Amino acid sequence: MKASEVLDNLKRRFPNEPEYHQAVSEVLGTIEEVYNEHPEFEKSNLIERLCIPDRIFSFRVTWMDDKGQIQTNMGYRIQHNNAIGPYKGGIRFHASVNQSILKFLAFEQTFKNSLTTLPMGGGKGGSDFSPRGKSNAEIMRFCQAFVLELWRHIGPDTDVPAGDIGVGGREVAYMYGMYKKLARENTGTFTGKGIEFGGSLIRPEATGYGNVYFLLQMLKTRGIDIKGKVVTVSGSGNVAQYTVEKLIALGAKVVTMSDSDGYIYDPDGIDRTKLDYIMELKNLYRGRIREYAEQYGVKYVPGARPWGEKCDIAMPSATQNELDGDDARTLLANGCIAVSEGANMPSTPEAIEEFLKARILYAPGKAANAGGVSVSGLEMTQNAQKLSWSAEEVDQKLQSIMENIHEQCVKYGQQADGYVNYVKGANVAGFMKVAKAMMAQGIL
C-alpha cells in the first residue's frame, strides 16, 4: 500500500478520530521520499503497522467525591510501539481526553522518543477526569482508582508512564504509591517522581528548558541572539513555567502567558519575581492566570490566545491545535521569526504551512519538546543504576540530547536551498529509526 493510501484506509477504519488522522497525516506527508527509497517497507506493510497502536486498554475508573457521591470516568493506556524500547509516555487528565487524542499523542510520542537517542518506545494514557476544582483528597482517590486498573499493564521494562496535562508531581506520586502497593516492586515504573523517591533533578524543568535549548540551536543557524527578543508564551503549566524561567535567565522578554480562560499581556516582561508569583498561583493555589493581571495591573484578555500580540518568537506551550492559520498569519505579519513548540501539535496543519511558506524557523513539538521525555529516560537510567545524578550532570545531558535532535533535523530536513524544514527532518529521523528496528525484528 502507498503511504497516501494508508491514511485514507485509517480514516475509513477509525472514523471520528480527527486528531489521530491529523498527526498521522503530518508524518506521512513528509516521509514519502524515504519510504519510496525502501521498497521493503511497502512489502511488509510497515506504515500501517507503525500507525496502528500495538494495543489499547480502556477501563472504567470509579471513585468517591468529597460529597460521598460515586463518580465514574474513562481511563485509557495506549501502547503504541515498543520496537526500540519499553512503551513510554505521559498520562493526561483533562475533560477533553478521548481515544482520538490519546492515539495522536501516543503516535507522536513514538517518533519523539525515537529522536531522543534513548531506548524508549511510545505510549500515552489518561482519563476524561477533570482535575479543575477538585480537592487534594479527590485527586488522590482518583489517582488511586485509576492505578487500580492501570497497574497490571505497566512495569519498568514494559511500559513507563509519566505526567502530561493535568498530571504533575502530585499526581505521579499518588499513582506511584498505589502502584507499589499492588505490584510490590520499587524499580521506578513511573517517571516524574519526587526527588525523595527515585525522581530525577531537572525533570520538572526539562520540557521547558529543552525547548529553549532547541530554540537556541535554531537561532544559531541564522546567527541570531536570544537576548532582548520579545517572546509570547501560551500556557502556564509545567512546560510554560520553565520555558519562561530559562528565557528570563537568557535575557529574553516574555510578554504573555495564558490558561484555558484567557491570557495576560505584560509589556514590561514577566520577571523572576512575577514568575515566582505565577508558580505559586498555579502550583500551590491552583488559581487562574487572570489573577496575575489584577496583581500587576496589566491587560487580561478573556477567551483568547496570545498570538495577536507582537513578538519576535512564539512558544506555544498549552495544548493541541491552539494556533491556527489566522494566528500564524498574524504572527508573521507582526514580524515573528521563530516558533518553537512546547506543547504537542499546538499548530494546525494550516498554521504549519504558513510558517514553512514564510521560511521562518519552525520547530514541531516532537523535536522541540522532547526534553521532557528525554530526562524521563535519564530518570529510568538512574533508577536502574540505583543512583542519582547532580542537576549539572542531567542538565548537561539534556543540552546534548537537544543538540543531537537539532542535528538530526538538519541532516534529514535541510533543503537544497539551505532552508531547514524541521517538520520533515524530525519526522524522517524519528521514522527511520523505528522503521529499521521493526524491519529487523520481523513481522509482529
Question: Nearer to ligand GLU by C-beta: 274 or 406?
Answer: 406
Q: Is 172 in the site for ligand GLU (CB under 6 A)?
A: no
Alpha-carbon distance of 230 to 247, in angstroms, equals 10
Hey, is 338 helix, strand or coil?
strand
Q: Any binding-site annotation on 220? A: no
Hey, is 423 helix, strand or coil?
helix
Return the residue matching grid coordinates 524557523: 361
Under 8 Å between Cβ of 98 and 383: no
Q: Is 90 in the site for ligand GLU (CB under 6 A)?
A: yes
Residues 333-352 contacting ligand GLU, CB under 6 A = 344
Burial class (CB in 10 A: 0-12, 13-18, 19+), 16: exposed
Query: From the CB of residue 108, how many other CB atoms can be counted at a distance below 10 Å?
Result: 27
Alpha-carbon distance of 229 to 232, in angstroms, equals 10
Buried b (16+ CB within 10 A) or exposed e, 33-47: ebbeeeeebeeeebb
C-alpha cell of 78? 495506549
Residues 272-331 contacting ligand GLU, CB under 6 A = none
Under 8 Å between Cβ of 60 and 113: no
Q: Any binding-site annotation on 335? A: no
Query: With CB under 6 A as the contact rule, which of the stretches 83-91, 132-140, 277-285, 295-303 interacts with ligand GLU?
Result: 83-91
Among 73, 347, 376, 383, binds ligand GLU (CB under 6 A): 376
Instruction: List the catalytic residue out of 2, 43, 67, 124.
Output: 124
Query: Cα 20 from chain centroid?
Result: 15
The minimum distance between CB 191 and ligand GLU, in angstroms, equals 5
Among 86, 372, 413, 430, binds ligand GLU (CB under 6 A): 372
Among 75, 89, 210, 342, binds ligand GLU (CB under 6 A): 89
Question: Nearer to ligand GLU by C-beta: 264 or 401?
Answer: 401
Q: Any binding-site annotation on 238? A: yes
Query: With CB under 6 A as the contact rule, which of the stretches 246-254, 273-281, 371-379, 398-406 interacts with ligand GLU?
Result: 371-379
Radius of gyration of the chain (CA): 21
Q: Is 402 in the site for ligand GLU (CB under 6 A)?
A: no
Among 27, 328, 373, 405, binds ligand GLU (CB under 6 A): 373
Q: Any binding-site annotation on 109? A: yes
The question of whether 299 is a catalytic residue gets the answer: no
Buried b (16+ CB within 10 A) or exposed e, 407-417: ebbbebbbeee
Residues 107-166 contacting ligand GLU, CB under 6 A = 162, 164
Q: Closest residue (Cβ) to ligand GLU?
A: 90
Instruction: List the beta bridge partners of residue 125.
Output: 77, 91
* Listed residue (111, 119, 113, 77) closest to 97, CA to CA: 77
Query: With CB under 6 A as the contact rule, which of the stretches 179-187, 227-235, 264-272, 372-380 interacts with ligand GLU?
Result: 372-380
Q: Is 191 in the site for ligand GLU (CB under 6 A)?
A: yes
Please give the helix or strand (H or E) that residue 237 lies within, else none: none
C-alpha cell of 350? 494550516
Question: Nearer to ligand GLU by C-beta: 148 or 172?
Answer: 172
Query: With CB under 6 A as the contact rule, which of the stretches 88-96, 268-276, 349-357, 388-396 interacts with ligand GLU?
Result: 88-96
C-alpha cell of 433? 529509526
Question: Nearer to ligand GLU by C-beta: 88 or 141?
Answer: 88
Annotated binding site for NAD(+): 207, 238
Annotated binding site for substrate: 88, 109, 112, 163, 376
Annotated binding site: 88, 109, 112, 163, 207, 238, 376
The set of catalytic residues is 124
Binding interface with ligand GLU (CB under 6 A): 88-90, 162, 164, 191, 344, 372-373, 376
